[in-house]
């Protein structure tokens, strides 16, 4: 199961994309309350969106983004039935991606 939930809806000239990503997004500045040791940084560094294979968004993130981040953006040129792919890479090299159809 993907860590990304995405919805893309075309309306007129623009398409609105809404994404919810499940990720712990640790800053590396918190201590574990039981052990007192620092929790290592673990956060998404890059999010990409591709419409029919063409990049429409690249977001460079850091440790200040909240846990389970929500991302919403608009772009033009899509129509119902087109393919949209959302992918991310974190600072530990983990990745995930999901494809959906524009409605």
Separation of alpha carbons 11 and 14, rounded Å: 6
Per the structure, the complete domain to which residue 84 belongs is given by: 4-101
User: Exposed, middle or buried by CB within 10 Å (0-12, 13-18, 19+), for 59?
Assistant: middle
The pTM (predicted TM-score) of the whole model is 0.89
Domain count, the chain: 1
The confidence score (pLDDT) of residue 2 equals: 82
At residue 1, does pLDDT exceed 90?
A: no
3-state SS class at 9 = strand
CATH number at residue 25: 2.60.40.10
The confidence score (pLDDT) of residue 18 equals: 97
Q: Which pLDDT tens digit goes with each residue over 52-82?
A: 999 999 999 999 999 999 999 999 999 999 9
The confidence score (pLDDT) of residue 82 equals: 94
Q: Which pLDDT tens digit goes with each residue over 31-52?
A: 999 999 999 999 999 999 999 9
């Amino acid at each position: 199961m993907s860590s990304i939930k995405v919805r893309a809806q075309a309306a007129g000239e623009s398409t609105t994309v809404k994404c919810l990503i499940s990720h712990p997004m640790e800053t590396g500045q918190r201590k574990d309350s039981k052990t007192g040791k620092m929790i290592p940084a673990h956060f998404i560094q890059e999010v990409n969106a591709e419409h029919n294979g063409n990049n429409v968004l690249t977001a460079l993130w850091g440790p200040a983004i909240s846990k389970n981040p929500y991302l919403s953006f608009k772009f033009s040129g899509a129509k119902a039935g087109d393919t949209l792919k959302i992918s991310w890479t974190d600072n530990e090299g983990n990745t995930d991606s999901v494809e959906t159809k524009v409605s």
